[in-house]
C-alpha cells in the first residue's frame, strides 16, 4: 500500500509539471500606444518559436500554438 501511495504521488507531480509546461505554449502579441501590433514572441511551439518586432508593456498572451501564425 505504501508503494502505491508513493507511485501515485510521483505520478501526480509529473502530471502537474506537464500541465504547467503546456500552459506556456503560445504567443505574446505586443502593441504600441495606438493599439497597432508591433511585435510577437512565440514559445513552446517547435519550429514556430521565435520573436519579431519590439516588446512593449501593452501585450496580450494567446495560449496554444495556433496563435503562432502571424
Phi and psi based region of residue 44 (left: phi greater than 0; alpha: psi -120 to 50; beta: remaining): left
Summarised one tens digit per residue, pLDDT across range 52-70 is: 999 999 999 999 997 555 5
Q: Which residue shows C-alpha cell 500552459?
A: 23
Q: Is the entire prediction scored with pTM above 0.75?
A: no
Note the pLDDT of residue 2: 72
What digits encode the pLDDT tens for the residues 6-33? Answer: 666 666 666 555 555 556 899 999 999 9
- Angstrom distance (rounded) from CA 38 to CA 31: 5
- Of 1 and 51, the structure prediction assigns the larger pLDDT to 51
Q: What residue segments make up the domains of the chain, in order of their start?
A: 23-70
Handedness of CA 41, 58, 18, 69 (dihedral sign): negative
Residue 25, Cβ neighbours under 10 Å: how many? Answer: 19
Q: What is the per-residue pLDDT for 51?
A: 96
d(CA 61, CA 70) in angstroms, rounded, equals 14
Amino acid at each position: 500500500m505504501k508503494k502505491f501511495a508513493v507511485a501515485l504521488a510521483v505520478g501526480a507531480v509529473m502530471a502537474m509539471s506537464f500541465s504547467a509546461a503546456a500552459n506556456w505554449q503560445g504567443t505574446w502579441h505586443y502593441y504600441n500606444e495606438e493599439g497597432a501590433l508591433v511585435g510577437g514572441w512565440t514559445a513552446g511551439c517547435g519550429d514556430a518559436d521565435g520573436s519579431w518586432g519590439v516588446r512593449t508593456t501593452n501585450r496580450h498572451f494567446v495560449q496554444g500554438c495556433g496563435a503562432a501564425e502571424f
